[in-house]
Homo-oligomer: A and B are copies of this chain.
Amino acid sequence: MEEIQKFIQQHIHALTWQEEHAGLYDPIDYMLASGGKRIRPCLCLLSAELFGGSKENAIYPAIAFEMLHNFTLIHDDIMDKALLRRGKESVYTKWNTNTAILSGDTLFAESYRYLLRYQGTELLTLISLLTDTAIEICEGQQWDMDFEHRNDVTINQYIDMIRLKTSVMLAACLKAGAVTASASEENRQRIYDFGIQIGLAFQIRDDMLDVYADVAKFGKNIGGDIAENKKTYLSLQAMHLAQGEDFDRLRYCFSSFDGTKEEKFIAVKSVYDKYNLKHHAQDRINSYYEEAFLLLDQIDVDQQHKQPLIDFVNQLIDRDS
């Protein structure tokens, strides 16, 4: 894994831009350098190796998808008014909204330019995959924003939303790796579906971390979802389970609450705790992981080749940040 991480870092550091457009590319460098866990390119390279391909081949979609991911984060942070990203100022905070819009647009286009360096026969398949993924992520973000103004969002609608907003990107990275390794259509679909399940698990874990994480490790404000009345797996499940006074208290918190952000967080969390929502969420996370690993079992390659991917995903499950 260290080798793969290093390989990805090298390729990200090697990115160069036109100097006379520093105003456009500095925010891109800032965003890409702040890094995060490089989950998406790792998944792409691990998938390529799973199917007998090489990381040298898979690096093109891997970096392209990492760029696409960072583009979506730059724009999401504007839309969500997120001041912090990975423990640092978000691009729109450090620069301004206009710069964040434009640098994001540029990074999106640059992801295609990077992918176009790929020399394999299935470049068009990869371009289609990048395109479909970008559109689905936008559709997911739109639902996410719509949900903020709705009081009738069901758990299933929420799952549909996070599938688009989070899962399809992970799934596409895995599939892209499989494409570069010329995997069969069936295996491409299975590894894609594996990614969907893993993504749902990750997002619900993220929802949980917003309430239950250690702020120093998490690197963003705890309770941000609650402060902004975001629909999450926890909030929807809580509204579904809470009875009588508890339900009224939640509804009050998520609509006309007039105390401080901290008071609101404590009020909501006390209901979550009473209904054992941390446990509920963990059950749901586990069931998505189980489904994911059933899909991985069905992939007809030597079991031992699956181990690096399994180790990587297990390591992500255990993260508390």
Contacts and interface: CB of A to CB of B under 8 A. Distances in A.
- Copy number in the complex reads 2
Contacts of A132: 113
A87 B288 CA distance: 51
A109 B124 contact: no
A242 interface: no
Interface residues of chain A: helix, strand, loop or mixed (majority) = helix
B131 A24 contact: no
B24 A139 contact: yes
Contacts of A21: 139, 142-143
B116 A135 contact: no
Contact of A102 (B105, B124, B138): B138
Given A102-B75, A102-B145, A127-B127, A18 B139 contact: yes
Interface residues of A, number: 35
A138 B116 contact: no
A310 interface: no
Interface of A: 18, 21, 23-24, 75, 78-79, 97-98, 101-102, 104-106, 108-110, 112-113, 116, 123-124, 127-128, 131-132, 134-135, 138-139, 141-143, 145-146
